[in-house]
Structure 1
Amino acid sequence: MKFAIVEFPGSNCDHDAYYAAKHVLGQQAEFIWHKDTDLHGADVVVLPGGFSYGDYLRTGAIARFSPIMTRVREFADAGGPVIGICNGFQVLLEAGLLEGALLSNRRLKFLCQHVHVRVEQTDTPFTCGAAVGQVLKLPIAHGEGNYYAAPETVAAIEANRQVLFRYCAADGAVSDAANPNGSLAAIAGVCNAARNVNTDGFWYDGEP
């Protein structure tokens, strides 16, 4: 299996994603520059974390227009697995490959800390190794991780089981106190209706 790690100007977790794919999972991995127009036969596409284009305008707002995103969209539309991590989440939302938006954290502060998230669904390419209800402790590092969508959109993704992760306490309980950034319904990660485009708000620090 071959992973394409897309690099934008300002990406800073691309090497972490490469390390995870190649040295942890033992798969082929290749960096793909944002100006490329070919995914080089990739089986999986990863949009890594960072600050693409310096987060100008909005996080991910400029990266969505990069030439490679045309191929990413075609790949996703054909059923190819795509994951966006941290800034990659923001890019996928801006590109319309996922529904909703990421707003500034509710206290308007950049957060760099470990949080707990509860696995909600496991029938996707990127969550199938987990168990429903499993609690994971993962790092976040973001200033715009506050997930928001219109009420009807949230109702639809909830009904379609597209919420993959929720912020929670160590025991799995969902509460406002355990929600670090104010995300609506404590949503920390979602997928598309076809379930092949997955994303989350975490910064993995090289650990899948």
Structure 2
Amino acid sequence: MNQLWTYFTTHQDQILGWAGTTVWLAVLPVAVGLVLALPCGWLAHRHRAVRAPLTSGLGVLYTIPSLVMFLVIPDILGTRILSPVNVVTALTLYTFALLVRSVLDGLDSVPQSILATATAMGHTTRQRLLSVQLPLALPVIGAGVRVAAVSNVSLVSVASVIGTAQLGQLFLVGNNTGSLPPVLLGLVAFAAIALLFDLVVLAAVRLLTPWRAVTG
């Protein structure tokens, strides 16, 4: 423990800078991926013909190794190999692929009886989606967001292989120098960030679904 603390204090500015980069590299793709997944998940929910090809195609996308994605995207976008844009783009695609299924499952979980009641009360399709379906689907969607957020933290570390400066660099430093403290510090830092993300998303879902606490 003393060695970890000594290493941290010695390289504090660099590590904190890497931590900040790690956080936004993981958070931004979740936000963008969720925004993109909501309409696509709704489309798959509304149109059965779209469901199978969309979910199957995104399933294949999610199986592409992250390192391959990090190396291919610069050629597609015309960016530099070290550009953080490559990491954000790759993780956004992974998040999108994961959350489309979560949105679809969430909307599918809303009982038809509730939808019929909303329709009988005069709700339009848009009103029913915004005031009934999405709120009731939020716990399922939130569970997907939690998985995506934690997964992104892990995938960010892989980007250190292509030279993106973030906490994954600690693993390279430890490997190159044969030193254990930076590796252990990296593990602790990634675990702490992943736990923080999970707790934040969980708190947000509970805040947005107060009726669950009452009925539970």
TM-score of the aligned structures, taking structure 2 as reference length? 0.21
Structure richer in strand, relative to its length? 1
* Larger RCO (alpha carbons 8 Å, 6+ apart): 2
Q: TM-score, normalised by structure 1?
A: 0.21
- The structure with the larger Rg is 2
